Amino acid sequence: MICLVVERALAAGNVEQAVVATDDQRIFDAVKSAGYEAVMTRPDHKSGTDRIAQVAAALPDAEIIVNVQGDEPLILPSTIERAIAELVNDARAGIVTTWESMEAAADVLNPDVVKILVDDQGRAIYFSRSPVPYPRDAARTHGSLEAALRSDSSLLSQFRKHTGLYVYRRDVLLEFTKWPQSELERLESLEQLRALAHGVEIKAIEASSRSIGVDTAEDLERVRKIVEKDSSEFRVSSSELVRTG
């Protein structure tokens, strides 16, 4: 799964280098044996962003750092490309991330599916594992949010699923690691809330297509079935890997 993520990252036309940052020797060995780059990081990082920053600190010429989380094996290269381009074109944004529309009530209610709130300018307002925004009137009418979602599928359009992609300006990423964890970050176990707490503008754009973050054994089986059904669609051949300087 990790190597598939690496392949898709390298297939993005504006990505020059892909490095797997891990503190797990098994992951390190698997990535290296497949011929990709990997770095063993300290085991005491409080978040994936802190881990990425350790590697970024050793890449002084990289002005933009992309964090594609290793549990997003179906992410499209075009999503990565568009997120990078958005950061390049928006001077106010310190971070760009992505979201997808919701298709199922179960995802809204699932704490493993992170929800994102976005303002009219496409700036992230908040991230949560809870159903946000909360349609109070509909929940009251139907007796609960779950019942409301079952009765009125149009409510799903109010929710956005956050996906595991971040594009950072290098200086923002390195500054991030100097800040203590915020209270909201600890409560929600969502590191992006630390950036919001310190005034970083996070631009959020819609992903090119739906992905599946692998958080559970059930997610893993769903992804395996998709990849096995048409491996040519989800694997990227070496001739398609693009590196730009």
pLDDT 10s digits, 69-88: 888 887 889 999 999 999 99
pLDDT in tens, 106-140: 999 999 899 999 999 999 999 999 999 999 999 99
Q: Is residue 86 part of a domain?
A: yes
- Mean pLDDT in the chain? 89
pLDDT in the model for residue 70: 82
Residue 2 resides in a domain: no
Q: Are strands 160-169 and 95-101 parallel, antiparallel or unpaired?
A: antiparallel
Instruction: Answer whether residue 53 is part of any domain.
Output: no
Summarize the confidence of residues 158-184 as an average pLDDT. 93
Residue 244: pLDDT band (50, 70, 90) is: very low
For 45-56, write each residue's pLDDT tens digit: 888 888 999 999
Average pLDDT over residues 84-96: 97
Per-residue confidence band for 233, with pLDDT thresholds at 50, 70 and 90: low
Q: Is 26 within a domain? A: no
The pLDDT value given to residue 245: 30
Q: Per the domain annotation, does 152 fall within a domain?
A: yes
Taking 80 as the threshold, does the pLDDT of residue 231 lie above it?
no
- DSSP lists the bridge partners of residue 37 as 19
Residue 52 makes CB contacts below 8 A (sequence gap 6+) with: 21, 65, 67, 168, 173
Pairing type for strands 19-22 and 37-40 reads parallel
CATH of the domain at 222: 3.90.550.10
- Structural domain that includes position 212: 62-230
119 lies in a domain?
A: yes
pLDDT band at 203 (very low <50, low <70, confident <90, very high): very high
Report yes or no on 9 lying in a domain: no
pTM, 2 dp: 0.85
Domain count, the chain: 1
Question: Residue 243: inside a domain, yes or no?
Answer: no
The string of DSSP codes covering 21-69 is EES-HHHHHHHHHTT-EEEE--TT-SSHHHHHHHHHTT-TT-SEEEEE-
